[in-house]
Structure 1
Amino acid sequence: MLFQIALFCCFAAFPFSNAGNDDYVFEALLKAKPLFPQIKPPDVVKIDEEINPSKVELYEDLSHFLPSRGSSDCSFNKTDLKAGDYGTITTPNYPDNYPGGRSCQWYLESEEDTRIEVTVFDLFTQPWFFTYFDYVQFSTDGNFTNAERMSGDLNARTPFTIASQENKLGVRFRSSTLFNFRGLKLHYLVKPTDPAKLDEIRISSYDGVCGQSQLLFEDDETTQRPLLPGVVPELPILAPGRSTTPSAIRHVLGEATTHRGPAWLPPSLTVHIPVFGSVAEGQTNQESGNPKIIGPGQAPAGAFPWMAALLIDGRSFCGGSLIDNYHVLTAAHCTDGATKINVVLGTNNLKTPDEGRLLFNVTREGIFQHPKYNPSTVAYDIAVIRLPERVEFTEKVRPICLPNRYHNAETFQSQLVRVSGWGKPADKAVSVSPVLKNVTIAVMSNRQCRAIFRHIISGNNVCTATKTTVAPCRGDSGGPLIIRQQSPDGTPYYMQVGIVSFGGTSCERAYPVGYTRISAFIDYLSTITGKSI
């Protein structure tokens, strides 16, 4: 099915001759057209439908498999891995289509008393059709005599994690010369089998500075509203089909279920078909009188000190998040083609000057957009902005924590998360909100999200449910999706798990919202920022 994606840009000119004037920048921010890719949902929603046929089975003999020769991008053996070692495996040309006629093998072996975990973020090969033309195979003991073979589009299940039985693990990939698809992307991590040793080497995302907010003392189980059933989109509905997950991989992909709705909803709730998730309306401002991020939550001053407002080429508006002294994280669709970005930090209200707010002018040289960003599918929608000067942290300006390699296997499904931004308060609003807003929503499964966004969704994305009055909207693009965490010493902090990326054709019809999953891109972030994550 084809998708219609519109980037709501504005081409009204705002000359940069006055860009050094703070008042001009803030006036331009309020006039700028907010960005937000919007994907046209299908006319009929099929719950749990496989986009392309996929098949998984236990295969007993692949003695005929011969890795392609002379291709370093296709195979390797790593036999000296240590606890904490981390890496990425992708099929040739990923995320572009892999070439035909390739046989690749990656063999991993780590030191004794460790095991290897691989988290698959994307798996899309030629579908099974009476036989396997293309496939990916996983061996949890390094011996391919009995190994799981997978083909087709498995991204209704990604990200999923496979662990080695001991300290050896193998991955194989084969492509035919008939049809070519995107292929495979995974991250591997070596962990000690002894939980005590794992605790010793595990790196906390909290560095003593990041992710601190006054909301941490309010945002707990005693103050959150209970989960509410999600709102049914106004679409024709077909009943779900039966899942055919083979028993051979239930330990990897989970038991098959015919539950008519998100399996992660609390069992005490009545589930209506289809329910695309649930939301919890977070901190609200009853005096605002605005029922419509869209949403009710006006952010208290200083509650989100990592928030950045971006004026792109004087005409477009996006959000972002400060991640260290020099870098702001945002979406690639915000920076695509940009030559200059004004970055504002340390403010809640774009109309009223805040003491301590900061303004930076970033040129093309400071914009690091992911080189594989695809505007047609909104894939790899991530970018980093390097500030020209060092940011000194204050109570109003501090970074958000980021996930690291030890968060690879976490899907965050069904957990409560917050999203904040200055986006439009309603579909028909003429401009962004001058006041920073926030809502608390819940992470939904990628399988449920694909009922709306279809092949756009992979493990590189995370999705949240919304309500007609609680949702990110145009202008919230690039902003952070955050979750409450706790450091080993018990200190609470917020960690960013997603970047606002795209939504449905309306912000007020309870369509899910898609985000770039941060944990799928920690290798990219390490490369740009120079920090080991």
Structure 2
Amino acid sequence: MTMSSNTVVCVALALLLSLTGSVGQQDVCGQNSLNTRIIGGGDAIEGFWPWQVGIYTSRSNTIVCGGSLINKDWVLTSAGCSNSINRPDIIIYLGRLKRFGPNTHEVNRTVSRVITHPNYNSSTFDNDIALLQLSSSVDFTAHIKPVCLAAAGSEFDEGIQSWVTGWGVTESYPFPDTLQEAEIPIVSNNNCSIVYNNRINITDNMMCAGLTDGAKGSCLYDNGGPLVTKQSSRWIQAGIVSGIVSEYCDGSLPSVFTRVSKYQDWINTQIVNNQPGFITFPYYNNNTLDTTSSIPHITDVPDVPDVTDVPDIFSGSSPSLHLFPFYLTFTIISLIFCP
């Protein structure tokens, strides 16, 4: 084989390895073996939310924001959070339950890179999303795992039950020691706008969840944390706690979140290798709604195009991809031709 053909083969194999590695992330994300099940919330149990991270600053000497682990190298958070802290000052805590130690299963990383969405508007909180690259990769454990992300086209109808987590302010404790969790229903953008009486503009890049009569929701210092919904055995992040919580945090209004599904292309543009696992919600298989997803109030399944059980490795919407044999084959070939 000539040097030129060797180069071509190596380049092709590199691309294939990158593809199989990125879609293979879907086999890891959103699984939580320890969880077989905030204002108005309660203490979380250790290991229930293994993607939850605490963003700590040495200047404040406390956790000031939340975030979610989306692969071994990257954390998803809000732009409002990333813009308010200095990179050398950040420590990311993973596997943490208590705001103050000890935390047996915890590891920490500094941040090597901060990417804030270029169209973030600090006045309206539109495009309130950012990525933090860890200084070094983390190993996945029962207490540290990535969450799946809602793929483009995902729809979260009003009433779907979701969970928000964080160390933010609560009614009982200004700074709770234990990670807090709260189960809250999705609120449609239209109804959310009505409740807020146009005090804020709920754009298509946002979503709402909570109770219109208050009692549960996110609050100050929950900013950047995840809103997740369970589908089958997978936890999918639907939203990111928006900086709007800093202004509306009395528990009387639904919480506002950045809609993750609107940013699949942007996230994949920033994270070239080992891309996060994106899964469409709700998931349909052969025109049938996955009845194990958390949407019990839907009785009429809309017409959707016929699909097969063959994974779509390009859309990132399949809930399970089994590409390890291909990955192994490509790896062996690359070792032979690309020393």
State how far apart, in whole Å, the 1-side matches of 2:155 and 2:221 are: 28
TM-score under structure 2 length normalisation:
0.67
In structure 1, the residue matched to 2:102 is: 353
Instruction: Tell whether 2:186 aligns with 1:447.
Output: no
2:111 corresponds to which residue? 362
Provide closer, same or farther for how the CA distance between residues 391 and 206 of structure 1 changes in structure 2, counting only shifts above 3 A.
closer
d(CA) in 2 for partners of 1:380 and 1:401?
20
Q: Which residue of 1 aligns with 2:327?
A: none
CA distance in 1, matches of 2:44, 2:197: 30
Q: Is the 8 A contact 2:217 2:251 kept in 1?
A: no
Distance in 1 between residues matched to 2:42 and 2:99, nearest whole Å: 17
1:139-175 residue CA offsets vs partner (Å, 9 max, x unmatched): xxxxxxxxxxxxxxxxxxxxxxxxxxxxxxxxxxxxx
1:398-451 per-residue CA deviation (whole Å, 9 max, x = no partner) reads 10011223xx1513332000001111112x85x421110101100011011112
2:220 pairs with 1:471: no
Structure 1 residue aligned with 2:175 = 432
Question: Distance in 2 between the 1:213 and 1:453 partners?
Answer: 39
Matched, 1:512 2:254: yes
Query: Are the aligned partners of 1:503 and 1:512 in contact in 2 as well (CA < 8 Å)?
Result: no
2:50 pairs with 305, 321, 326, which one? 305
Shift of 1:453: 6.1
Find the partner of 1:389 among 129, 136, 153: 136
Give how far 1:208 is off: 2.6
Instruction: Tell me the amino acid that sits aligned with residue 485 of structure 1.
Output: Q
Change (3 A) 1:399 1:382: same
- Superposition deviation, residue 352 in structure 1: 2.5
2:98 aligns to what SS in structure 1?
coil
Per the alignment, residue 240 of structure 2 pairs with 499
Q: Secondary structure at the match of 1:503?
A: helix
Of 186, 209, 212, 2:28 maps to: 209
2:323 corresponds to: none
Distance 2:224 2:166 in 1: 9
- Preserved CA contact (<8 Å) 2:169 2:221: yes
SS in 2 for 1:207: helix
Shift of 1:459: 1.1
- Partner SS for 1:425: coil
Contact 1:312 1:334 in 2 (8 A): no
Q: 2:126·2:203 contact (CA, 8 Å) conserved in 1?
A: no
Higher strand share: 1
3-state secondary structure, aligned to 2:265: helix
Q: What's the counterpart of residue 527 of structure 1?
A: 269
1:468–1:507 CA contact under 8 A, matched in 2: no
**1:107-506 maps to which residues of 2 (within 5 A)?**
207-214=26-33, 216-218=35-37, 293-312=38-57, 314-315=59-60, 317-340=64-87, 341-363=90-112, 366-405=113-152, 408-426=153-171, 429=173, 431-451=174-194, 452=196, 454=198, 456-466=201-211, 467-486=213-232, 492-501=233-242, 502-503=244-245, 505=247
- Equivalent-residue separation in structure 1 for 2:146 and 2:122 (angstroms): 28
8 Å contact kept, 2:55–2:67 = yes
One-letter amino acid of the counterpart of residue 444, structure 1: V
Q: Distance in 2 between matches of 1:329 and 1:499?
A: 8
Q: 3-state SS of the aligned residue for 1:402?
A: strand
Could you tell me whether the CA contact under 8 Å between 2:33 and 2:142 is conserved in 1? no
The structure whose RCO (Cα within 8 Å, separation 6+) is larger is: 2
- Specify the code of the residue in structure 2 equivalent to 1:477: N
| Matched residue SS, 2:229 | strand
Map Cα deviations across residues 231-275 of structure 1 (whole Å, 9 max, x no partner): xxxxxxxxxxxxxxxxxxxxxxxxxxxxxxxxxxxxxxxxxxxxx
- Secondary structure of 1:335's counterpart equals helix
Q: What is the rounded CA distance, in whole Å, between the counterparts of 2:146 and 2:220 in structure 1?
A: 24
Provide the TM-score with structure 1 as the length reference: 0.44
Offset from partner CA, 1:20-79 (integer Å, 9 cap, x none): xxxxxxxxxxxxxxxxxxxxxxxxxxxxxxxxxxxxxxxxxxxxxxxxxxxxxxxxxxxx
* 1:498–1:516 CA contact under 8 A, matched in 2: yes
Structure 1 Cα separation of the partners of residues 258 and 101 of structure 2 = 31
CA contact (8 A) 1:321 1:399 kept: yes
Higher helix content, 1 or 2: 2
* Gap runs ≥5 in structure 2: 1-21, 276-313, 317-339
The one-letter code matched in structure 2 to 1:418 is: W
Is residue 422–residue 437 contact of structure 1 (8 Å, CA) maintained in 2?
Answer: yes
Query: Is contact 2:35-2:48 (8 Å) kept?
Result: no
* Structure 1 gap segments, 5+ residues each: 1-202, 219-292, 487-491
State the alpha-carbon separation in 2 of the partners of residues 333 and 313 from structure 1: 18
Deviation at 1:212, TM superposition (A): 1.7
Distance 1:305 1:216 in 2: 9
The amino acid across from 1:494 in the alignment is W
Cα displacement (A) at 1:503: 3.4
Q: Against the structure 1 CA distance between its residues 205 and 441, is the aligned structure 2 distance closer, same or farther, given a 3 Å change threshold? A: farther
For residues 379 and 336 of structure 1, the distance between their equivalents in structure 2, rounded to whole angstroms, comes to 14
User: Per-residue deviation at 1:204?
Assistant: 8.8
Q: Which amino acid aligns with 1:384?
A: L
Q: State how far apart, in whole Å, the 1-side matches of 2:197 and 2:29 are.
A: 33
Cα separation, partners in 2 of 1:313 and 1:208, compared to 1, 3 Å = same
Following the alignment from structure 1 to structure 2, what is the Cα–Cα distance between the partners of residues 439 and 214? Answer: 19
- TM-superposed deviation, 1:296: 3.3
> Which of 1 and 2 has greater Rg?
1
Q: Distance in 2 between matches of 1:512 and 1:296?
A: 14
| Distance across 2 between alignment mates of 1:495 and 1:387 | 21
Evaluate the alpha carbon distance shift between residue 439 and residue 334 of structure 1 in structure 2; reply closer, same or farther with a 3 A threshold.
same
